[in-house]
Structure 1
Amino acid sequence: MKNFSIGEMSKLNNISIQTLRYYDKIGLLKPKLINKTSKYRYYSIEEFLKVDMIKYYKNVGLSLEEIKNLISSNTSIEEKLQIINIQQEALENKLKDMNLMKNNLDILKNKVSSIIECKINKIFIKYNEEREYISYDYISNTNAELEINYRKVILDIEKYVGMLGYELSSIVSYDKTKEKMVYKNIMINTSENILKHNGQVIVLPKGEYITVYFEGGCFANKNYYKKVTEYINKNNIKVNGHFHEIYIIPQVNEDGKENTLMQLEILKS
């Protein structure tokens, strides 16, 4: 029976020589024989079928280690079905994560496009539809308190949802006389019902919001609260409720200090 060189094996099966050598190294696809003098690898027709099996199982997402175990053992039909079910579940979870990432990218893209259009550091009026948030009642008077509470919320989200991909924000009380800010809670805009056990649902009503986009950090952004307050007073605008601060993209400046892209808004009466 004819044996095939590694080059022939590569061409006939559309698989690179480098890949064939790697498969040999990990014991996934061994050549039928290796010339002791030249060290050339030679494959038989039987190895062609193994290549087909490797390609087939790779196409359904199995790892090389899983494929190696399948090829080297006589698995029953029931065991093959179990492997298929496990792989299908894993792929469905990956698809769920990928769809979540795509949705987050779409939201982020729209948000950043809006910032470019409206310009940063410029106050404007923005209409928002009704928005639902899950609120964690952590009160923070200092940046350190806020960071710790922030981590608590993130840990809770990742525990139940698996990945952080939601808009985080806070309701902030601002005392213009003392120029003092108190972060009354931390919120996430998600429809994941599983998270509602730890937080209460807060609905921000539809309406016009005095809005500004800016770069900065929590508790270091008093100028923007002051700026919006002055805008409200200057234009004799009545507002309802506290400020809503939204974290869009976390970032730092050249000095390593927080320079997060943020949104500040407050509802007009």
Structure 2
Amino acid sequence: MFKISEFSQLTTISPRMLRHYDKLDLLKPEIIHQENNYRYYTAGQINQANRILSLKNVGIPLKEIKTLLENEDDQTDYLANHRKKLETELAEKKLQLTYLDWLEEKKKSSEKVGMNYPVETKKMNDLRVLTYRQKVTSYYEEEQLWQQLFSTIRTEDLSKLGQSIAVFHNSASGNIEIEVMISIPEMLKHVYPKTKIFSPGLIASVVTNGSYATMPTVHADMENWLKVNEYELTGTIFTIYHSSPATEEQEELYITEVCYPINRLEK
């Protein structure tokens, strides 16, 4: 048997929280002496305390932890749904941080934005990339290009790769021509001798999340933004996939950055 102070040290749960767990009927002392109100816990309750902490540490409310511990058969579905909730919240927070960066930058600038999306103008650094380019009959075929590109990369190098980018080249014949590329660290350039340098220069970019069905609207708004802010398109439009179907199952978790190479219009 352990006094509350001893049990607290063993489980890293403070005495105050242990009393709170007692009130919630979540983790009750095995014995409470009525004459002095001393509380005693057993060695077998250490595992129960660890289970409570494990669930609490992933953000599950205490009242729901009690229900889960009483109905262990429900835990699998509950944890799967809780994971989806956390992933959605994380994607939303990442997007909020990106927008916050833009808002802070815009406070330093007098430029007007002619669209509903926060737009960032920035100089994008050169990237060493491995690419695969092909004419396709539909944008839906882009996934096949990615499969072809990744088939040329060693498994042990996958964790070292950088940004995933798709460049949509203009074609005089009206055909769709897509070039997919992945940035490669300099230390691997000897492994992939066919890499090249991607140099987009100054770009205007907007980050969106969710379904790709919104892309036509984004591009239409970006064209208006260029006119309002007196920029001209100087290169091929490209997309950076911060998260995509390759990494996420839910559309609302897709984070896509649409990029326009630009220059100021000469007056």
TM-score range normalised by the length of the shorter chain = 0.3 to 0.5
TM norm structure 2: 0.47
TM norm structure 1: 0.46
Q: Which one has a bigger Cα radius of gyration? A: 1
